Each structure stands twice: as structure tokens, then as C-alpha cells.
Structure 1
Amino acid sequence: MIPVARSFLILALLAAAGCGARQPAAPATAEDPAVAACRDEARDSPAVRDLGRRMLIGDISQTERVRAEQRAAEARAFNDCLRRRGLARGGGVEQVQPRGGIF
């Protein structure tokens, strides 16, 4: 075979081999009913409700801290729900609030 014909043959074999390859699952979108259900479940999670009960009216600094904790608890509950339903991959990095000091 001449080199050009061999190149085309190799290319054709590679293309044919790629036809049966599995495509990765499409990520869940915000419009997906399962995602909306997880979002509702996260808002009503026990951790978020318990934090809401701890909030004191009138104490601005405490209110902001509790709201931040609520957002973090809701995000964790949402991600847990997505993982249980197989809509999100496991793993990831949790955001850590700085404590002060050098780092």
C-alpha cells in the first residue's frame, strides 16, 4: 500500500471504532424535574429548618452567620440529593470559611 492509502485506512478504522464509544451522561439541568425536586428537598431539610429556629430577630451579626450556615446546609443537602438520584458525580471540594490568622 502507498502511504496515503494506509493513512486513510487507519483513519477509517479509528472512525469506525469510535462509533460504538459510550458518550458521557449529560449533566442534569436546572429545568430537570428531578433537580427541582432536590432543590425543594434541600430547602426543607432538617438541618436548614433547625438553623432557621436558631435565628434571633434583631441580632444582625448572628442572623448573617446563621443565614450563611443555612446556605451551606442547603447546598450540602442539594448535592446529597443529586448524588442519591445519580444526577451528580461524587467528590468535590467543600468551601471552607477562613478563620482568620495568616491562612
Structure 2
Amino acid sequence: MKTPIALALAALLAACAARPATDVLGERLTPEQAECRAEARRSPEVRMVMREANPTPNSMNEARIREERRIAETTAWRRCLRERGLALPGGVEIIRGL
């Protein structure tokens, strides 16, 4: 009986382990890119978008906030990379939902 509990605990710990930061295509980020990603997540633009989230669940608001946050975070990330002289990932413009 202890074996299933140990397996469940191991699976839970593995799920909580920190994964390496990756880009949209799943490629690992360099330490500099990962630092810019963290900086982008703390950016004023992302915080401003998150202030618009409703405290009560609303699927329309959640979808809008998720998309606006993604765009704000990507814009801040690309700006940070550009300021540090690092190569920008992907194409010339952020891919937006249809």
C-alpha cells in the first residue's frame, strides 16, 4: 500500500519541479533571455493589463486578459532583448489570435 503513495508523491514532486524556461517553439532560453522573460513578466505594461481582470470568473474577460497579457509580455520581452543587444526570436511581428 505504501508503493502507490510513494509513486503519487514522486509524481507530485516532479510536477512541481522548476522547468527550464523555453520560447514559444519549446527551445531553451539562454540565461540572458530568461532574465529578460522574468523582467517582462514584471513590466508595468503587464501589471496594467492584470489590473483589468475581474475578481469574479468571467470567461470573456479571462480570454481578453490572457491575450492582452501575452501581447504585453512579448512586447516587453522583445524590448528587453533589443536593449541588451540580443537576437530577437521569431519573425518581425507578434502573432495575434484570429
TM-score (normalised: structure 2): 0.61
Q: Distance in 2 between matches of 1:80 and 1:58?
A: 32
Identify the residue that residue 49 of structure 2 maps to in structure 1: 51
Q: Distance in 2 between matches of 1:63 and 1:55?
A: 7
What amino acid does structure 2 have at the position aligned with 1:54? E
| 1:13-34: CA deviation from partner (whole Å, max 9, x where unpaired) | xxxxxxxxxxxxxxxx61x221
Q: Distance in 1 between matches of 2:34 and 2:93?
A: 23
Is 1:77 aligned to residue 79 of structure 2?
A: no
Alignment size in residue pairs: 69
In structure 2, the residue corresponding to 1:58 is in which secondary structure? coil
Identify the residue that residue 86 of structure 1 maps to in structure 2: 85
Among all aligned residue pairs of Structure 1 and Structure 2, give the percentage whose two residues are the same amino acid: 40
Write out the 4+ residue segments of structure 1 that deviate beyond 2 Å after TM superposition: 93-98
**Contact 1:41–1:78 (Cα < 8 Å) also in 2:** yes
Q: Which has the larger radius of gyration?
A: 1
Q: Distance in 2 between matches of 1:38 and 1:63?
A: 25
Q: Distance in 2 between matches of 1:68 and 1:94?
A: 11
Q: Distance in 2 between matches of 1:74 and 1:55?
A: 16
CA RMSD, Structure 1 to Structure 2 (Å): 2.0
* Unmatched 5+ stretches in structure 2: 1-27
| 1:25-65: CA deviation from partner (whole Å, max 9, x where unpaired) | xxxx61x2211110100000011111111100221111111
